[in-house]
Amino acid sequence: MADWNLNLYLDRAHSTLNVDAIQGFLHSLGLEPQVKGDFFDVNRVDMDEVSAALAGVRVRDLNLEDSLNISPAETDVSQEKTLLKSNEPIELERDRSNIYSGFHLAEVLRRYVGSGLHIIFTSRLPATFEGTRYHGRVIVADFPLAIISTTGVVEAPARQREYYIRQAAYHRAQHAGLQVPEEREFMQELEDRFKEGFIGYDDLRMTDVVKGYTLQAAFYLLFGEAFCESPGCMLFNAHTQAEMIHAQIESGRLCKRHQTMLEAHFSCM
């Protein structure tokens, strides 16, 4: 008989992600997840081995499919080892040099899990290739595990159109040699202006948003179905920050079909 025990892990601490609150939310729906702690510690992962493996699944060219860092330099491996030892969340580098191929990242992590189902909260940003380029993702599911990225929550869904218009105008003025504010100052002002319309790295709404993505992961692992077409369902596959905030915070519930599916699952156990 399959082992349907659901295990929750962090791969590092995160100031605004409360895994105990996520566990409590899943308990309220009838699920019984166990919080296991740090993924690499719990599974006694060899740091040298996994550092090389993680460096090897970074994406080298966002416009080229399967452009992995197959032969990572020693500096790449050392950087990964430093990240593994750090308690600081990983933020996306401006040059996008720390994006990971999502399914290859899942393949690396899958080497270390035992029986049961596994959800890993990470601040690494996974991406998948669609169309002509890699796109950042909040969730990557690859049975028997799913990866949920807090950096993905911030970076993957599109922000307000005006945010990008102002950002592009600033860079055009900068490249034209016009007098503009220092870039860090400008970006902070831009973030402050639009902050209610998207989830930031230290956003207190992070846990509420991740609850819904954890539910998506659980539905995938239990039923093979992660997403919903209803914008008000927590399983909605949001492509914008506004859609994500609506589904996970303003609505914060399952649609009738998925609620019924969950209830039917427990009635059969």
pLDDT tens-digit profile, the chain (269 residues) = 355 789 999 988 788 999 999 999 999 998 999 999 999 999 999 999 999 999 999 999 999 999 999 999 999 999 999 999 888 888 888 888 889 999 999 999 999 998 899 999 999 999 999 999 999 999 999 999 999 999 999 999 999 999 999 999 999 999 999 989 999 899 999 989 988 999 999 999 999 999 999 999 999 999 999 899 999 999 999 999 999 999 999 999 999 999 999 888 776 65
**Domain-wise residue ranges, the chain:** 6-159+198-267, 160-194
Distance (Å, whole) CA 209 – CA 247:
9
| Parallel/antiparallel/unpaired status of strands 125-130 and 99-101 | parallel
How far apart CA 57 and CA 66 sit, in angstroms, is 9
103: tokens are 């399914």
Class of domain 6-159+198-267 as given by CATH: alpha beta
Q: Is the peptide bond before 89 cis (omega within 30 degrees of 0)?
A: no
pLDDT value of residue 1: 34
What is the distance between the alpha carbons of residues 266 and 269, in angstroms, rounded to a whole number? 5
DSSP assignment string, 36-70: EEEHHHHTT--HHHHHHHHHHTBBS-TTSTT-B-S
The one-letter amino acid at 105? L
- Give the pairing of strands 117-122 and 145-149: parallel
Distance, C-alpha 80 to centroid of its chain: 18
Residue-wise pLDDT for 83-139, tens only, equals: 998 888 888 888 888 899 999 999 999 999 988 999 999 999 999 999 999 999 999
Q: What is the predicted pLDDT for the residue at 95? A: 81
Convert the pLDDT of each residue in 137-150 to its tens digit.
999 999 999 999 99
- In three-state secondary structure terms, 32 is coil
Bridge partners (DSSP) of residue 35 are 8
Q: What is the pLDDT of residue 267?
A: 66
